[in-house]
A and B are shown apart, each in its own frame.
Chain A
Amino acid sequence: MLCEECGKNQATVSITVTTGSGTNTRRLCPECMKKMELNLVKGDIQSFLSSVLSVLGNEKKTEEKPSVVCTACGLSYAEFEHTGRLGCAQCYRDFASHLKPSLQKIHGRTQHAGRKPKAFVPDPQDELNQRIIELRKQMDEAVADENFEEAARLRDELRALTESQEVTEQ
């Protein structure tokens, strides 16, 4: 078994920590154990505990990436990273937080702008957001062209739209 702190070395020591929520056992390599013990030697039991607890807290984070699995097709994120191919539409939803940065890197954008299926019914909120993005773009262009009259008109239109949005949100 690998060390739960660094994930690289073989775990040879285990440490049991009792917290308010129960008992937890961590398996660490000697190197990471030493780092934590160092805090103890310094007489700082609090920071020793907090570093061990941070391992506990990290558990989710460090485990989430390699072990997240698509709930529909069972593909793991690690497999996707290996092959570059997703398994099904649900993969996009289950891996969303990991995929977004990659999509941003590949395409420079993360909002679809093209065709939609004939049967697709748009969400009115999406439509409104889309219109706001468009108006902002037009306003920036008007400013860049020093067409301030048009920019002011677009600003007012934008303001009216965002206000109506706030009203619907309340």
Chain B
Amino acid sequence: MSETAIRNVIVSDRVRLARNYHDLPFSTQKSPENALLCIARAREAMEALEQEYTLYQLNAMPQVERMKLVERHLISRDLLKNADSGAALIRTDKHVSVMVNEEDHLRIQAIGDGLSLQDTAREAFEAEEALEDVCTFSFDPQLGYLTSCPTNTGTGMRASLMMHLPMLTRYKQMGNVNQSIAKLGLTIRGIYGEGSEALGDLYQVSNQVTLGRTEEEIIDAVTAVGKKMIDMEQALRQRAMKEKHAELTDNIWRSYGLLRYARQMDEKEFMQHWSNLRLGTVLEILKTPLASVDELLTVAQSAHAKRYAESMGAELTVDQARSAMIRTTLRLTP
């Protein structure tokens, strides 16, 4: 499969490992001493690595800065619920992060770009091994790595792909996709938005099952499904280009126009037009670089927009700041 085909559909890939120290109860919510111990151990472990990690302690950060980490997918929303004790060690290049005191003591996460789960997993395991040098993980020969929630037990691994699937969505294929991948022990859900809506036509495919499969089997299954979905999405895009060319290009240019010239835009509207912007870019109707389009997905989220407004010293609402951010990005690119 070509790099282009992959980049056209997959925004990023991610591997997350859940681990707990063997000598502490899973939840650190009621024990500040244990919470601090978890952070201290993780910090010591990451210092042994060549690449630099920075410690972020949530209780020392303003809410908007915490949200920025969420918008970059460096920490989870669940970690925000434990803002008193939650922390994250984040590698300077932002590809690896270790969340501390979330649902489990440690959530090691690596993010890659594309369909390279094997490489991404290697990055996560590197961090895992550094942590293991300092401590002992809770492990059972039969059940594998023990986690707070039994849905993560075993490998403790979640391998996922963030996929942009505008055509599978518009041709109403997501229900079928969901059904057929459930049989493989995988699951798919919208990344943005509440309930069943998937803002921006962005979905996360990941393994549901963590026990009784090796890490390789899990990665292979997610990768195989990812490839299959790329093929399906690409085929529908080609079909739409043939059968509905005028409508499709009109939609894309309208979205581009709004993103380029609007003066305020809420998250929902932004996500809808962003989907068309990305589609237009990969179909080579628009000339915006794909990297800028994907970066926009992060920097036009609310916390980033709010921070941007503050840095400009302007009296802007979040929706106005979002628009300003989008206009700036699109103005700087052809």
**B274 at interface by CB-CB < 8 Å:** no
Among B22, B142, B143, B213, the most chain A Cβ lie within 10 Å of the Cβ of B143
Contact check, B215 vs A107: say whether CB atoms are below 8 A apart. Answer: no
Interface residues in A75-95 (C-beta closer than 8 Å to B): 84-89, 92
- Please report the C-alpha to C-alpha distance between residue A106 and residue B151 in the assembled complex, in whole angstroms: 7
Contact check, A116 vs B139: say whether CB atoms are below 8 A apart. Answer: yes
- Please report the C-alpha to C-alpha distance between residue A103 and residue B104 in the assembled complex, in whole angstroms: 18
Residues of the B chain whose Cβ atoms lie less than 8 Å from the Cβ of A103: 143, 150, 153, 211
Binary contact readout B125-143 vs A (1 if CB under 8 angstroms, 0 otherwise): 1000100100011111111
**A42 at interface by CB-CB < 8 Å:** no
**B275 at interface by CB-CB < 8 Å:** no
Q: Which residue of chain B has the shortest Cβ distance to A73 in the bound complex?
A: B25
Contact check, B154 vs A87: say whether CB atoms are below 8 A apart. Answer: no
Q: Which residue of chain B has the shortest Cβ distance to A116 in the bound complex?
A: B139
Contact check, A108 vs B149: say whether CB atoms are below 8 A apart. Answer: no
Residues of the A chain whose Cβ atoms lie less than 8 Å from the Cβ of B154: 107, 112-114
Binary contact readout A50-92 vs B (1 if CB under 8 angstroms, 0 otherwise): 0000000000000000000000110000000000111111001
Residues of the B chain whose Cβ atoms lie less than 8 Å from the Cβ of A84: 149
Contact check, A114 vs B142: say whether CB atoms are below 8 A apart. Answer: no
Interface residues in A96-114 (C-beta closer than 8 Å to B): 99, 102-103, 106-114
Q: Which of A85, A86, A89, A112 meets B142, CB within 8 Å? A: A112
**B32 at interface by CB-CB < 8 Å:** no
Beyond the given A86-B26, A110-B143, A111-B211, could you list 14 further A-B residue pairs with CB under 8 A, ordered by the A residue number? A85-B26, A92-B143, A103-B153, A103-B211, A106-B209, A107-B212, A109-B209, A113-B144, A113-B214, A114-B155, A115-B215, A117-B139, A119-B132, A123-B141
- Please report the C-alpha to C-alpha distance between residue A119 and residue B149 in the assembled complex, in whole angstroms: 24
Contact check, A89 vs B211: say whether CB atoms are below 8 A apart. Answer: no
* Contact A88 B25, CB 8 Å, known A103-B211, A107-B209, A112-B154: yes
Q: Which of B140, B146, B148, B211 meets A107, CB within 8 Å? A: B211
Residues of the B chain whose Cβ atoms lie less than 8 Å from the Cβ of A43: none
**Size of the chain B interface, CB-CB below 8 angstroms:** 38
CB within 8 Å: A-B pair count: 101
- Please report the C-alpha to C-alpha distance between residue A126 and residue B143 in the assembled complex, in whole angstroms: 13
Contact check, A114 vs B139: say whether CB atoms are below 8 A apart. Answer: no
The distance from the CB of A162 to the nearest CB of chain B, in whole angstroms, is 20
Q: Which residue of chain B has the shortest Cβ distance to A74 in the bound complex?
A: B25
* Contact A120 B214, CB 8 Å, known A87-B25, A106-B151: no
Contact check, A122 vs B141: say whether CB atoms are below 8 A apart. Answer: yes
- Please report the C-alpha to C-alpha distance between residue A120 and residue B136 in the assembled complex, in whole angstroms: 10
**A8 at interface by CB-CB < 8 Å:** no
**B27 at interface by CB-CB < 8 Å:** yes
The distance from the CB of A18 to the nearest CB of chain B, in whole angstroms, is 44
The distance from the CB of A94 to the nearest CB of chain B, in whole angstroms, is 13
Q: Which residue of chain B has the shortest Cβ distance to A119 in the bound complex?
A: B136
A-B contact pairs, 27 of them (CB 8 A): A85-B103, A85-B148, A86-B148, A88-B26, A89-B22, A89-B138, A89-B140, A92-B153, A103-B143, A103-B153, A107-B209, A107-B210, A107-B212, A108-B212, A110-B211, A112-B142, A112-B144, A112-B155, A112-B212, A113-B144, A113-B154, A114-B215, A115-B214, A117-B136, A117-B137, A123-B141, A126-B141
Contact check, A108 vs B185: say whether CB atoms are below 8 A apart. Answer: yes
**B108 at interface by CB-CB < 8 Å:** no
The distance from the CB of A164 to the nearest CB of chain B, in whole angstroms, is 21
Residues of the B chain whose Cβ atoms lie less than 8 Å from the Cβ of A119: 132, 136
Interface residues on A, range: 20 to 34
Q: Which residue of chain A has the shortest Cβ distance to B137 in the bound complex?
A: A117
Contact check, A118 vs B150: say whether CB atoms are below 8 A apart. Answer: no
- Please report the C-alpha to C-alpha distance between residue A122 and residue B141 in the assembled complex, in whole angstroms: 8
**B157 at interface by CB-CB < 8 Å:** yes
The distance from the CB of B155 to the nearest CB of chain A, in whole angstroms, is 4
Residues of the A chain whose Cβ atoms lie less than 8 Å from the Cβ of B157: 114
The distance from the CB of A122 to the nearest CB of chain B, in whole angstroms, is 7
Contact check, B148 vs A111: say whether CB atoms are below 8 A apart. Answer: no
* Contact A99 B26, CB 8 Å, known A85-B103, A114-B144: no
The distance from the CB of B213 to the nearest CB of chain A, in whole angstroms, is 6
Contact check, B143 vs A112: say whether CB atoms are below 8 A apart. Answer: yes
Contact check, A108 vs B140: say whether CB atoms are below 8 A apart. Answer: no
Contact check, B150 vs A86: say whether CB atoms are below 8 A apart. Answer: yes
Residues of the B chain whose Cβ atoms lie less than 8 Å from the Cβ of A116: 139, 141
Residues of the B chain whose Cβ atoms lie less than 8 Å from the Cβ of A92: 140, 143, 146, 153
